Amino acid sequence: MIKFKLGKDDKTILDYSDLAFIRKLTKKMRDPKTRFDPREFVSKGEDYLFNYTNKNVGSVDEKRRRFLKSLIFGIAAAAVVGIIPGVRVLVPPTVTVTSGFPKSLLVDSSGNPIKASSLPVNSPYIVIFEYPMTGEPNFLINLGDASGKPVEIPPTKVVVPQTGKTYDFPGGVGPYKSIVAYSAICQHLGCTPPYIHFYPPQYVGPAQLSAPEPDQLSAQALLAAKQAKVPALIHCDCHGSTYDPYHGAAVLTGPTVRPLPAVVLEWDSSTDYLYAIGAVGVATYPNGSNGIPSTNPTDDLSSSFGSPVGNKTVVSETENPFSS
Stretch of 8-16, 135-143, 235-243, 286-294 lying at the interface with ligand FES (CB under 6 A): 235-243
- Strand locations in 50-175, DSSP E? 104-107, 126-130, 137-142, 156-159, 166-169
Pick the closer one to ligand FES by CB: 275 or 285: 285
Phi-psi category of 252—alpha, beta or left, where left has phi over 0 and alpha has psi -120 to 50?
Answer: alpha
Question: Residue 173 CB, nearest distance to ligand FES (Å)?
Answer: 27
* Residue 186 within binding range of ligand FES, rule CB under 6 A: yes
Binding mask 121-160 for ligand FES (x = CB under 6 A): ----------------------------------------
Q: Are strands 312-319 and 104-107 parallel, antiparallel or unpaired?
A: parallel
Residue 317 to residue 324: CA distance in whole angstroms? 15
Question: Residue 161 CB, nearest distance to ligand FES (Å)?
Answer: 14
What secondary structure letter does DSSP report for 313?
E
* Residue 238 within binding range of ligand FES, rule CB under 6 A: yes
- Residue 299 to residues 101, 133, 145, 212, Cα–Cα distance (Å): 10, 11, 35, 36
* Residue 185 within binding range of ligand FES, rule CB under 6 A: no
Residue 153 to residue 207: CA distance in whole angstroms? 27
Question: Residue 6 CB, nearest distance to ligand FES (Å)?
Answer: 24
When binding is defined by CB under 6 A, the residue of 95, 189, 204, 301 that contacts ligand FES is: 189
Residue 156 to residue 292: CA distance in whole angstroms? 23
Residue 230 to residue 25: CA distance in whole angstroms? 42
Pick the closer one to ligand FES by CB: 204 or 265: 204
Question: Residue 279 CB, nearest distance to ligand FES (Å)?
Answer: 19
What secondary structure letter does DSSP report for 152?
-
Residue spans of alpha helices (H) in the chain: 16-30, 38-44, 46-56, 65-80, 87-90, 219-228
Pick the closer one to ligand FES by CB: 196 or 233: 196
* Residue 188 within binding range of ligand FES, rule CB under 6 A: yes
When binding is defined by CB under 6 A, the residue of 25, 72, 236, 265 that contacts ligand FES is: 236
Stretch of 148-156, 158-166, 186-194, 223-231 lying at the interface with ligand FES (CB under 6 A): 186-194
Question: Residue 159 CB, nearest distance to ligand FES (Å)?
Answer: 18
Question: Residue 189 CB, nearest distance to ligand FES (Å)?
Answer: 4
- Residues within window 239-258 making contact with ligand FES, judged by CB under 6 A: 239-241, 255-256
Name the nearest CA neighbour of 242 among 202, 198, 192, 285. Answer: 198
Residue 98 CB neighbours (<10 A): 12
Pick the closer one to ligand FES by CB: 184 or 309: 184
Question: Residue 32 CB, nearest distance to ligand FES (Å)?
Answer: 24
Contacts of 290 (CB under 8 A, 6+ apart): none
Which residues here bind ligand FES, judged by CB under 6 A?
A: 186, 188-191, 196, 236, 238-241, 255-256
